[in-house]
Amino acid sequence: MRVNRPEALPVGRRVAYWRVRRKLSQQVFADRLGKSKSWVDKIERGVRSLDKVSTLQAIAAVLRVDTAVLLGRDIHPVEVTERVEDVERIRAALSRYEIPLGRPAGRRPVLPVDRMAREVAHVWTTFQYARYPQVVDLLPDLLTDAQRTHAHDSEAARVPLVEAYRITAALLVKLGDADLAWLAADRAMIAATGDRVLVAAAAVQLGQVLRESGWAREATSAMRAAAYRIAPPVIEYGSPIELSLCGTLLVQAALAAARYGDDAAVTELLDEAADLAERVGDGQDHHRTGFGPTAVALARATAAVDLGDARDAVTWHEKTIQRGGWRCLPVEHRAAHLVDAARAYLEVGDPVNAGRVLVDAARIAPAEVRHRPTARDVLAQVARDPDAPATVTQLADTLGVG
């Protein structure tokens, strides 16, 4: 599914684009405007026109953009500083089809499965340390090698192939390329078919991709199905791997439900995930999920922001980062959460703390703020606030965010 650039869209679609970028459901957006959800839906679909300057200004204020942006004039959307050529190398690696087409394998040797597994583990670790430029550099060769090794020994090499696709999807979601991420997630699901554990692991990235592509309801449905498929018949006897994957998929379902404002589903899914997390405990990272009680608590904060309950989100954030499990999470996970925390602080009118957590995110994972569109977007919002700390202004200037 290709997402159009905002400047190429009608005004109603631009409103929808920026509403999604601001993580607002139609209901929350309507409430802040003092309008009905039906009114917002008609505006976004172009059924109703936006011809009053006062209404445009009110919408722009809620979305924190200039009115000119909604009108398609002088648009300078906040974008990730993408390494376009390198991302295209990933696209090329996904597009070669040299194995099914019988193309020459070139001079690179076929790696044995154990070596391939080590290579995949190294790239996963690099991703979890939020070293995204290095991952971009490594992925093209990793994908090519994983495909060749799988062609040589399809059963033994299935795990590293699925994991290579999972890393690719996870990275591309970070870089804001939902189309290409969807291709990688789809490849992972196809390669995993027949192995319930691998399918569950691949579904984690599928959930992320569906959510970021605007298919939140579909994401909730798919993640529920995947979670209950991997759930052990008797929870008390479930393995840590099953519980971690099931719990992570429930979290993904809840985060998707938050995107369309289903409070009840969010609470139900996260409560269910929390029960599983207590059995797993913190400090685990089965199938690169980082699942545990702390991860579920952080998900409650993220969901609260998307539901428009920013004060609850701040409360969850401030309580959860004091837990011992906070430091056990991968750097990438912590930095991504800090960006969500900045969104929450902005919503409650606290640009100082929003700036503080953004600076913390940039300190522990510079690439999270430098290369992730969502993070740069939040940074731009904070930097525009007159009460923003000087450190945020300096960070925005350094990264060319305005």
CA 319 to mean position of chain CA atoms:
23
pTM above 0.95, yes or no: no
Spelled out in words, what is the top-level CATH class assigned to the domain 84-333? mainly alpha
Question: Is the separation of the CB atoms in 289 and 248 below 8 Å?
Answer: yes
- Whole-Å CA distances, 400 to 75, 197, 392: 16, 43, 12
- Whole-Å CA distances, 367 to 67, 79, 331: 30, 14, 11
134 burial class (0-12, 13-18, 19+ CB within 10 angstroms)? middle
The span from the first CA to the last CA of the chain, in angstroms, equals 29
Residues in Cβ contact with 84 at an 8 Å cutoff, skipping those fewer than 6 apart? none
Tell me, which fold does domain 6-71 have in CATH? 434 Repressor (Amino-terminal Domain) (1.10.260)
pLDDT value at residue 105: 58
Q: Which 3 state secondary structure label does DSSP give 22? A: coil
> Rounded CA gap, 275 and 268, in Å?
11
- Other Cβ atoms less than 10 A from the Cβ of 380: the count is 18
> Rounded CA gap, 17 and 63, in Å?
10
pLDDT value at residue 6: 43
- Whole-Å CA distances, 112 to 71, 162, 218: 56, 16, 38
Question: Is the separation of the CB atoms in 256 and 21 below 8 Å?
Answer: no
DSSP-H helix ranges across 213-326: 216-230, 240-259, 263-280, 293-306, 310-320
Question: Is the separation of the CB atoms in 317 and 341 below 8 Å?
Answer: yes
Q: Tens place of pLDDT for every residue, the chain, 402 residues?
A: 344 444 446 788 888 888 887 778 899 899 888 899 999 988 988 888 887 777 887 888 788 776 767 776 544 443 433 445 667 788 888 887 766 766 655 667 899 999 999 999 999 999 999 999 999 999 999 999 999 999 999 999 999 999 999 999 999 999 888 889 999 999 999 999 999 999 999 999 999 999 988 899 999 999 999 999 999 988 888 999 999 999 999 999 999 999 999 999 999 999 999 999 999 999 999 999 999 999 999 999 999 999 999 999 999 999 999 999 999 999 999 999 999 999 999 999 999 999 999 999 999 999 999 988 888 888 888 888 888 888 988 888 888 775
pLDDT value at residue 235: 87
Q: Domain residue spans in the chain?
A: 6-71, 84-333, 334-402
**Token output for 102:** 């019988």
> Rounded CA gap, 3 and 172, in Å?
14
- Whole-Å CA distances, 321 to 119, 308, 315, 316, 337: 32, 21, 10, 9, 10
pLDDT value at residue 369: 93
CA 399 to mean position of chain CA atoms:
21
> Rounded CA gap, 34 and 59, in Å?
11
